[in-house]
Amino acid sequence: MSRIKRVRARLLTLDPFPVWLFVGFVLFWIWLAIAPYYRSDWLLENILVFAAVPVLGWLWYQGGVSRLAWLSIFLFLIFHEVGAHYTYSEVPYDQWLRTLLGFSLDERFGFERNQYDRWVHFLYGLLLFLLLKDLVKRRLLHEAVLWHLLPVMLILSHSAFYEIAEWMAVVLFPGELGESYLGAQGDIWDAQKDMVLALLGVSTASALSMMMHCLIVIIK
């Protein structure tokens, strides 16, 4: 059987669920790409998305990633694209809450800066945990502790790498573009807080997953 036929046969056996999620994401991406607030910042924010899509496609082809993990990735990318459209420091989440629910989150908790970037850093850890756990399980089939520990370490290290990338963006693109991409909003501890929130998110997901695993073992 030729390589093309083998690939075609493999594709027919794969779960179509991630494909439908990808189609939905592309439609959402196109909608928000039409008129972003700052085109240059939007492009910078989407560089990682452009790089991630082929990697995710390869992971889908390899198999072994759960539907819940794919759904989690989809949700994270949706939140990221909202931030890319408005720029993270200007997402009008508080205005949306006032309109929909009649209360101000910023006033309720005394926030003095836009918190959307903090929320997405937390979601990065929370929502990408399942993908990393599934990838670790491929290599370590019987090491439940490492299934839950390694994703925490990977998220924390990648969060640090991303903060370095933001710093380099400011160096390479000084002025408004670099500041918009950095999104520190005057907080000198912005990088550290972002990493802590990503760590909190992935630790929460890891703890919940570990409890579910222990519960299943006890029931069995």
Domain residue extents for the chain: 16-219
Q: How far apart are CA 88 and CA 37, in angstroms?
A: 11
Residues sharing a CB contact under 8 Å with residue 199, sequence separation 6 or more, in sequence order: 125, 152, 155, 156, 159
> Average pLDDT over the chain, rounded to whole?
85
For the residues 135-147, what does the mean pLDDT come to?
A: 79
Q: Report which residue type is found at 91.
A: V
Q: How far apart are CA 83 and CA 11, in angstroms?
A: 33
**Predicted confidence (pLDDT) at residue 68 exceeds the cutoff of 60:** yes
Measured torsion, CA atoms of residues 210, 213, 217, 220, in degrees rounded to the nearest 10 = 160
Q: How far apart are CA 191 and CA 185, in angstroms?
A: 11
Confidence class for position 215, pLDDT limits 50, 70, 90: confident
**Predicted confidence (pLDDT) at residue 23 exceeds the cutoff of 90:** yes
Q: How far apart are CA 6 and CA 11, in angstroms?
A: 9
> What pLDDT score does 52 carry?
93
Q: How far apart are CA 178 and CA 169, in angstroms?
A: 6
Burial 93-106 (b: 16+ CB within 10 A, else e): ebeeeeeeeeeeeb
Query: Of the candidates 135, 139, 150, 143, which has an alpha carbon nearest to the alpha carbon of residue 64?
Result: 135
Q: Report which residue type is found at 172.
A: L
Q: Report which residue type is found at 31.
A: W
Residues sharing a CB contact under 8 Å with residue 130, sequence separation 6 or more, in sequence order: 66, 68, 69, 72, 205, 209
Q: Report which residue type is found at 157.
A: S
**Predicted confidence (pLDDT) at residue 205 exceeds the cutoff of 90:** yes
Helical residues (DSSP H) of 35-143, grouped into ranges = 39-62, 67-86, 93-101, 105-109, 116-139
Which of residues 89 and 73 earns the better pLDDT score?
73
